[in-house]
Amino acid sequence: MTIWDELHLHHAAVKDRPISELFENENRAADFSAEFGAFLFDYSKTNIDATTRDLLIRLAEARGVAARRTAMFQGARINETEDRAVLHTALRAGAATIPVDGQDVMPAVRATLARMRTFAEDVRAGRFAAQGGRITDVVNIGIGGSDLGPAMATLALAHVHDGPRCHFVSNVDGAHVHDTLAVLNPETTLVIVASKTFTTAETMANAETARRWMAARVADPAAQFVALSSATGRTAEWGIAPERVFGFEDWVGGRYSVWSPIGLSLMLAIGAARFDGFLAGARAMDGHFRTAPFAENLPVLLALVGIWHNQICGYATRAVLPYDQRLARLPAYLQQLEMESNGKRVAMDGTDLPFHSGPVVWGEPGTNGQHAFYQLIHQGTRVVPCEFLLAANGHEPDLAHQHLLLVANCLAQSEALMRGRSLDEARALMAAKGLSGAELDRQARHRVFPGNRPSTTLLYPQLTPEALGAILALYEHRVFVEGVILGINSFDQWGVELGKELALALAPVLEGRDPGTGKDGSTRALAARIAELRAG
Ligand code: F6P
């Protein structure tokens, strides 16, 4: 019998057990939590017991998580379908030495970081000025990992944002670049073209538009452009001078690149010292991930809870619910991190995956979500495991009373999800309102909460640059561990290719230069209707 089989058998035995019963063990909260630094990860409000945890840890051991982890940190080419190392951790490794193919990659990492620092501080201090004077605004043009990381992190750290205003343009929809540039002055704006490949259609189209916008008002538009890319040949062809190109290696995946020059807009916003804090937080989490025993290892535990809920319990989605408004873009960031990494249907060896791939990840900050989709989470027919993130303190001392309300709401939700409300309790409520008989029965049933819905809580003191760095590294490693357990390559993304190819092929059909022979009837009919609508 495999460990997977053992886990399924165990699940069959415990699946109807109320989670609340597990709290008959008075130490459950402590026994099913783990701490690292000031972080507390509480997974006690799940149906995981000691047997479950032992089985899950045995699974992680049997699937070779420890060896794979070492291979990743040492720069082995674990991204086998692209024959690349996976070394985003090197970007925050500080003084370490990391040889790849016999050569230490760290001197180049440190040199690029030093160039970024100098540039960012020059811009922030007005030493690097635009043609109209001091730079007031920065527009980062990029998509996917070249947008979500810096956009999410810049918002997350808005309370320490003391540099130029930062704007993010990603969508190929002209509305995005139009509306962003419409309110800016080209004479005091710096445009960052962020693209690892420097070929991504959306980014290149938006960059061309921004260059035309700049050229209409500025004598030397190229002087106000910066490129963040691994493709330095293409950035030069595009006309960006080498001193304003910040490169990185192919072992930095797009969705793991916020630590690289792709984070330049964040550094411009918060300054180099705080960016160092962001890297230091991630580095600390890396150290914890590398050394803590699995039973105390936050990324490993988060991954094991994920595997339990998705692959064993069969819950197809998970909700990420930050009770921290500035983490509003974290769910979107995690969608790319988790779904682009672990949304794979074949194992590393090319065989079909014998279980489901990673889950659908979604969410919104609390308390907003409470007034939108929590209804389904509490009373819908599908179980949605919830992952709460909660800062004990806000950054607005005058509004501490509001922060307390936020905290109370977060704890209330996880309690309500687990506890539910029984029919008897609902009947008593209705009786207290004066109802009786059939109407009492009918009304009471609508007010029943099944409960027994699992959630975890990641608690931290406050959202600082260090805390944010640690949270992101935690999730990166969680994705890694889940990927290793599933036996997939978490570092390629072939699934995004087909749509890109077909979009290119559709352009001439939409322009009427190609009749679209070979396209399916629906696509041809839609293209024809679009042509009619565009004509008038
Ligand atoms: O389309 C997927 C993707 O390749 C992502 O993995 C990546 O983050 C994004 O596109 C942007 O790529 P680039 O940085 O090369 O423009």
Q: In order of start, what are the domains of the chain with their CATH numbers?
A: 3-74+277-419+454-492 (3.40.50.10490), 98-270 (3.40.50.10490), 421-449 (no CATH), 495-535 (1.10.1390.10)
Instruction: Examine the residue annotation and report whether 371 is marked as an active-site residue of this protein.
Output: yes
Examine the residue annotation and report whether 340 is marked as an active-site residue of this protein.
yes
**What SS3 class is residue 111?**
helix
Q: Is 197 in the pocket of ligand 1 (CB under 6 A)?
A: yes
This model of the complex carries an ipTM of 0.98
Pocket residue to mutate for ligand 1, from 493, 498, 504, most atoms within 8 A of Cβ:
493
Say if ligand 1 is within 6 A of residue 306 CB: no
Would you say the CB of residue 154 lies under 6 angstroms from ligand 1?
Answer: no
CA-nearest residue for atom 13, ligand 1, is 195
Separation of CA 91 and ligand 1 centre (Å): 19
Q: Where are the alpha helices (DSSP H) in 396-464?
A: 400-419, 423-432, 437-446
Catalytic residue, chosen from 15, 439, 500, 511, is 500
Residues in the chain, total:
536
- Does the CB atom of residue 229 touch ligand 1 within 6 A? no
Q: Name the residue of 200, 258, 259, 501 to mutate for ligand 1: max ligand atoms within 8 A of Cβ.
A: 200
Cβ atoms < 10 Å from Cβ of 65: 24
Smallest Cα–Cα separation from 42: which of 436, 496, 513, 389? 389
CA angle 97, 102, 108 (to 5 degrees): 50
Report the C-alpha gap between 209 and 363 in whole angstroms. Answer: 32
Query: DSSP characters for 461-493?
Result: S---HHHHHHHHHHHHHHHHHHHHHHT--TT--
Structure tokens that stand for 476 in this block: 């990166």
Q: Output the tens digit of pLDDT for each of the chain's 536 residues.
A: 999 999 999 999 999 999 999 999 999 999 999 999 999 999 999 999 999 999 999 999 999 999 999 999 999 999 999 999 999 999 999 989 999 888 999 999 999 999 999 999 999 999 999 998 999 999 999 999 999 999 999 999 999 999 999 999 999 999 999 999 999 999 999 999 999 999 999 999 999 999 999 999 999 999 999 999 999 999 999 999 999 999 999 999 999 999 999 999 999 999 999 999 999 999 999 999 999 999 999 999 999 999 999 999 999 999 999 999 999 999 999 999 999 999 999 999 999 999 999 999 999 999 999 999 999 999 999 999 999 999 999 999 999 999 999 999 999 999 999 999 999 999 999 999 999 999 999 999 999 999 999 999 999 999 999 999 999 999 999 999 999 999 999 999 999 999 988 998 898 999 888 988 899 999 999 999 999 999 88
Ligand 1 contact, 195 CB (< 6 A): yes
**Ligand 1 atom with least separation from CA of 340:** 6
Is the CB of 143 within 6 Å of ligand 1? Answer: yes
Catalytic annotation present for 15: no
Which one of 171, 238, 338, 496 would you pick to mutate in the ligand 1 pocket, going by the greatest count of ligand atoms within 8 A of its CB? 496
Look up tokens 């990185």; give the residue: 248
196 touches ligand 1 (CB under 6 Å): yes
Nearest CA to ligand 1 atom 10: 144
